[in-house]
Amino acid sequence: MLAGQRVAVFGLGYVGLPLIRSCLNAGFAVIGFDVDKGRVKSLRSGFSYVDDVSDIEIQEWLKGGFYPTSEVADLLDIDVFIICVPTPLTKAGGPDLSSVEASTKVIESCLTGIRESGKKPLVILESTTYPGTTEEVVRPILETNGLLVSEDFHLAFSPERIDPGNQRWTFENTPKVVGGLTKECGDAAEEFYAQVTKTIVRVKGLKEAEMAKLLENTYRHVNIALINEMAKISHELGIDIWDVIRAAETKPFGFQAFRPSAGVGGHCIPIDPNYLSHRVKTELGLPFRFIELAQEVNSSMPSYVVVRLRDLLNLNGLSVNGAQILVVGVTYKPNIADTRDSPAIGVIRNLLKSGANVFFLDPLIPEFKVDGQAIPSSQSPNAPTKYDAAVILQAHETFSYKGMSPLSDCWLDASSAKSLSTGPEYSRI
């Protein structure tokens, strides 16, 4: 695979755009494909909607070989197809592969047209899913009209490892796991990625690469649940869990610190482990108890935050019902303008059901809705100048407790930040 050849990236989101950056830097011409015409229009106009990619970068990309499109007809003479589309959960809790399947069908139509040229394009799935997806779902679609893997195209899986907002670990310096359906497929994928990232980690095959991603996020899911449950128990026992963590993390081996929070959110932890749990249940008929318990604990945290907030209000002779409450930081992680599956949704939903008047404060999010209901901003004309209570869910770097403290005399910090402040009016979960 030589720089200067053409790469098509399917899915122009938080995974696809950083990948495109690396491909362009390596000298590839890149077609960005997305069915969301609004995204395509924004990119063509030089505007980014992803935190980790600036408008200036997009404008430079457009000058340097990047072409965003929603038209299949623009996918001509492609050497590498990479699928980075979302894989959410269905209402039944299983993986929704509709975007992967739709992208694969488009690629199949392109491969049929390329076949006569004698090229052997490389197809890579990066979207997170259950072990077996690439071979059992993607491969049959690609072979629908008689094309054969290894003869007409190569097929590989390489899990995305993008951490939005992380400036230290980028696409280029994060080791890239690669697995192919055959040795030749793996070789082709390794050769390609070696030009866009520094370290390649080759695994035996597709399923090993698919499982590696699920192991990474299940590990985090389970350990976050562990510390969240320990936080609940420690509070009941009168133990400061934060002091416990501070002591435990001084051990130079055998321990990694996780910190309590209002729950998990975003594109990975609340979703990815469920792919594995679903696969184990449907294929083996067995429960994956660690994942199910972790999901149960982490899903309970928004309700627990409201319970703690209610207790603090009670100490001040107030009820949640009718209270003016400020929710600070509504994104799913600090310093990122992304609210997907944010714990703030569950916290605010529970507060509203309890009769509270809820306002939010987040410099990264101009508007926020819960179950279709617009939550007023602390900047709105009818917002109180002082709240009965305030709860911090995400501690953005721009936040200063000292600067926010006049907003309330009762604060609950439910973020995973090490510390914003201490004081008689300031509590932690």
Confidence of residue 176 (pLDDT cuts 50, 70, 90): very high
Q: Which one has a higher pLDDT value, 266 or 173? A: 173
Confidence of residue 87 (pLDDT cuts 50, 70, 90): very high
pLDDT of residue 273: 82
Confidence of residue 2 (pLDDT cuts 50, 70, 90): low
* pLDDT, average across residues 399-421: 86
At 163, list the tokens: 């951490």
Distance, CA of 273 to CA of 204 (rounded, Å) = 22
At 162, list the tokens: 């993008």
Average pLDDT, the chain: 93
Q: Is the pLDDT of residue 190 over 80?
A: yes
pLDDT of residue 119: 85
pLDDT of residue 424: 66
Q: Is 319 helix (H, G, I), strand (E, B) or coil?
A: coil
Q: Which residue type does 396 have? A: H
pLDDT of residue 115: 72
pLDDT in tens, 221-240: 999 999 999 999 999 999 99
202 contacts 158 by C-beta, under 8 angstroms: no
The answer to which of 57-66, 333-342, 365-374, 420-429 has the lowest mean pLDDT is 420-429
Number of H helices, E strands in the chain: 13, 15
Q: Is the pLDDT of residue 4 over 80?
A: no
Q: Is the pLDDT of residue 21 over 60?
A: yes
* Burial tier of 367 (Cβ tally within 10 Å: 0-12, 13-18, 19+): exposed
Distance, CA of 3 to CA of 214 (rounded, Å) = 31
* pLDDT, average across residues 341-349: 97
Distance, CA of 19 to CA of 31 (rounded, Å) = 12
pLDDT in tens, 61-78: 999 989 999 999 999 899
Distance, CA of 161 to CA of 174 (rounded, Å) = 7
Confidence of residue 135 (pLDDT cuts 50, 70, 90): very high
* pLDDT, average across residues 103-116: 89
Confidence of residue 3 (pLDDT cuts 50, 70, 90): low
pLDDT of residue 270: 78
Select, from the ranges 174-188, 273-287, 388-402, the one with the highest average predicted confidence (pLDDT): 174-188
Confidence of residue 344 (pLDDT cuts 50, 70, 90): very high
The answer to which of 242-256, 284-298, 415-429 has the lowest mean pLDDT is 415-429
Q: Which of 222, 383, 402, 233 is nearest to 298 (CA)?
A: 222
- Phi, psi (degrees; rounded to nearest 5) at 94: -95, 170
pLDDT of residue 199: 96
pTM: 0.91
Confidence of residue 422 (pLDDT cuts 50, 70, 90): low
Confidence of residue 178 (pLDDT cuts 50, 70, 90): very high
Question: What's the N-to-C CA distance of the chain in angstroms?
Answer: 52
Q: Give residues with Cβ within 8 angstroms of 323, minimum separation 6.
A: 313, 356, 357, 388, 389
Q: Is the pLDDT of residue 117 over 80?
A: no
**Residue whose pair of structure tokens reads 């195209």 in the numeric block:** 153
Distance, CA of 316 to CA of 29 (rounded, Å) = 63
pLDDT of residue 269: 80
* pLDDT, average across residues 109-118: 81
At 43, list the tokens: 């990119």
Distance, CA of 206 to CA of 155 (rounded, Å) = 9
Distance, CA of 301 to CA of 307 (rounded, Å) = 10
Confidence of residue 423 (pLDDT cuts 50, 70, 90): low
Share of the chain above pLDDT 70, in %: 98
Catalytic residue selected from 23, 84, 268, 410: 268
pLDDT of residue 236: 96
Active site (annotated) includes residue 410: no
Classify residue 11 as left (phi > 0), alpha (psi -120 to 50) or beta. Answer: left
Q: Which one has a higher pLDDT value, 129 or 277? A: 129
pLDDT of residue 317: 94
